Structure 1
Amino acid sequence: MIGQLIVLLAGALTITVLTVIIGPAVFHHHLLQTDLPMGSAELIHIELAYRDALALALGVGLVVSLLTAGLVTWNLARRLRRTLHGLTSGVDELSRGHYSTRVPSVGAGAELDSLAATLNDMAARLDAVEETRRRLLSDLAHELRTPIATLSAHHEAMADGVIDPDAAMPILAGQTMRLSRLADDISEVSRAEEGQLAVTLRPLAVDELLVSTLQEWEERFEAAGVALQGGRAQGDPPTVHVDPDRLAQVLGNLLSNALRHTSPGGTVIVSAAAHGSTVEITVADDGDGFTAEDRSRLFERFFRADSSRTRANSGSGIGLTISRALVDAHGGTLSAASEGSGRGATFTLRLPRVAAGR
């Protein structure tokens, strides 16, 4: 506001000086061209009248202009200060970990409103990350509680002589293995999300990958009573630049997920298709499916669409998380779709296609 007032005062001073110096001189020059005698009372009266009228008009105009400009400047400065205060307070609350804080939009201009919207979006993302962190800690506590309780109970029973150590050893070994597997899962998903999983890329025909994957999983699907079908891409077999082992791991996770959620008598179809510069590999089943609410969380760590499932019959809950991280490392995308609970699910893997002759 002080800067604006300085500009206004400088402008007013400039106008005043120019008007006082130039205006009377020009007016006096024109009066001399009349027939009035030099130094006559009429000539002096006319010049005094001109100067008085000019001073009065200029003074009133400057006062009104300064008051109006000052009022507008004060109003704008107040609005900006209120907006910046709200932004500063919001950022301060976010820095303290209060991620539910939102910055109000007071209509102080498109730029500041855009900044407020960006801060609110950042706060929402931080809030979601914090919620994921809390949920992850809760899931870890839940995953650890059961094996630790089992180990503790059996050790106490052996110490009291209630249970024979030889009979307890298989149980203790199983729970220890479960803890070890959980630690490996956590390490694997952390490395995947941090982009530390190494991939060795080479050209690979998609049909070759599908054939090897179907052969590997065919026996397990037959044992579960679920039909496994494969479809080859039309035309020339497309080629992708991938790590065969890592991509096989992704397809294995998708097939394991489909087998787990498909009842005996159901069908799982694995197919591939080329669309321009992209190759799509889909794994579709007619099993449990998932709801729209679960879709946004399918790739989160330790998330299970059916909360009633246990680790023993629903997996670790990180297969899809690792799969998406691996697909991202290949420059592709992994998405999921379902028409609702009990109506099956389709997972689509999209990878860049290797151009012919390369």
Structure 2
Amino acid sequence: MAQRPRDPLPLRWHLVRLVLGTLLPVTAFACGLFFFLARAEREATERRVLTSARALADAFDSEMESSLHTLEALAASAWLDASDLEGFRTQCTRVLKTQRGWLTVILLSPDGVPLLNAGLPPGSPLPALAESESLARVRDTLRPVVGDLARGRGEKKQLAVPIRVPVLRDGELRYVLTAVISAAAFHEVVGRQDSDDVEWTRTLVDTRGVVAARTRDPARFVGQSATVPFLQRTRGAFEGVYADLSMEGEPVYAAFSHSAYGWTTTVVSPRRVLDAPARRSLLAGGLLGLAMLLLSAAGAWAFSRRIGRSISSAADAADALASGAPVRVEPSEVRELARLNEALVRSGRLLEAQEREREAHLEVAEAARAEAIAATQAKDAFLAMLGHELRNPLAPIVSSLELLRLRGLAQTPEHEVIRRQLSHVVRLVDDLLDLARIVRGQMSLHQAPLELSAVVTRAVEVVAPLVEKRQHTLEVAVPSTGLTVLGDPDRLTQVVTNLLTNATKYTPPGGRLQMRAESGADEVVLTVTDDGEGVEPELAGRIFTPFVQGPRSVDRGAGGLGIGLALVHSVVTAHGGRVAVHSEGPGKGSTFTVWLPRHAAPPEHLAGASPTKDVRPSEAPSTALRVLVVDDNVDAAEALADLLEMSGYTVAMAHDHRQALQRLDTFTPDVAILDIGLPEVDGYGLAALIRERLGAASPTFAALTGYGQHEDRRRSEAAGFHHHFVKPVQLADLVAFLESHRRPHRGAA
């Protein structure tokens, strides 16, 4: 290792010299440039605004001169020479129609007595003079005069400005001819001026300081006196620009100029607009400073090369340390970098020893992680299968056994054994579903030779209610004999049922389902085809994985828990077969194909569907507690309804929200026992609909569901359910709940 140079300077001194050498000149230059540009931009903007004020004054003078010329021509009328006022009225009326903004023409005597008003019908009373100062100026100067803004004495009392010319005959003042111009005409004067990006408001003020026209909010300010600071500024100079507050109280810069007739024109701009050049100059100065900074950085490059080489050497040493290569460093003039190099060399030696130890630990940890992942996956698959397989069939079994007991058909010791063992199974299911870890799951099969048609018959009977409900057309083409397999009837029935159920759920109402079976050389092939939603290519490769499914709702009406097809795959694989899906894409339907090994020996038994006993509710006393049972599992609903009827309750039963709401037309329940996982509208939504229908007469609600986790119980409580029963429910617990919520009779059922 090379020796460190003696007494290297600290890194901070090198950085200070570099920063001072590059930034100080740039900063000084940028500051000077900023102030220079800001001042130049500000002066140019003020000149532009003042020019606009002058242009407005010139426009006002031009309008007044045009009106005065017209009035002077009218004053030279021969009708006045002949003192024929009626003829002069006719002439004034014609001229009045040609002048925009003129309200009327008035002929006055020298002492201000109205002699004629062209704006009034002949014979009408003539209003008194509204503004006399301009008349006095005409008498004194015998020259045309532009008056000040005044409110007329007529019926309309409009704001207007008089312009007056003397009518001289033989050097003597015989009349004063006046044209009254509306204030709106002056608004057109200020509005016709070219707009500027720095202008805000243009204003005309008469000789008394009264606002005669304004581009901004004229209805509010025309006729009012201008502000005192404005009057003081404008009376002390012919034109200028100064800072002020507008009549609205906004900070502005005002540019003013006087017209030849004594009026004042003002152009007002917000201060933020005139101050914008400073900001632009700051931006320009910043950009220029950045350019200078880059130039300075280029000049400092030679000085920084030494530091760069030292830092690069340290970086190379760090890279070597990270990759496990030997660490080599070069001498550095920077004290901190020299110490860093020494530390890197020491760290390299330590890491070599630690790396060997870490590798050993990683091997052990990776093996443990793989084992944990496998155990977690097995646990999740097992729990999902267990919950799906056992909870729903256990509910009607428990209820049916209780029915046998109530009917006196379960008095033998064998029934008691069944009851005890079934209760034990229920407890085991509850315990197993609460386990946090399942290392490995096993599926047991009870295989026997059977015809595939027997399995299909049982599955079709199970799915028939759902097919009928969704108005599907189901075509079954399965030979009754000749398709012998060695399998578990219940598990294979479950396979076909899940495939049909899946096709039904993902096919819109009125769709078409087809199930066909045929014999191959060594296999039996079963296909289930639908014209429903289809399967996306990305999903097709994972569709048989547990919990893989599209978006679903709580009713599981279109996808459930995502384990149905996973169960199909597991059962078919356990039978030595295989299953696959094919779809042309979304909206083009799908086809599920199952291949099972063909069995050569004839079946001993044909699997079929057991006849379903028709259980009818018995009549209950009118004073009995009325109970509404809603469950889409027909067997579970019927068994529970029979149990409650035999226990003395009046029961109504439904299998979805529509049937439940129809029952309310003739049956008002005291207690409603609702399955949460109902199709279309779940139990929570059905409870809300019942409350909306019955209002204050709503029943007490209890949930009866296969969902038994803490979150499920908390949700049902929040939804207003008084109890959360988990399938299968014990009759004693249910009766205790019903009796605790018995109410007085509320009317005919």
Normalising by the residue count of structure 2, what TM-score does the alignment of the two structures yield?
A: 0.24
Normalising by the residue count of structure 1, what TM-score does the alignment of the two structures yield?
A: 0.47
Q: Relative contact order: is structure 1 or structure 2 higher (C-alpha 8 Å, sep ≥ 6)?
A: 1
More helix by share: 1
More strand by share: 2
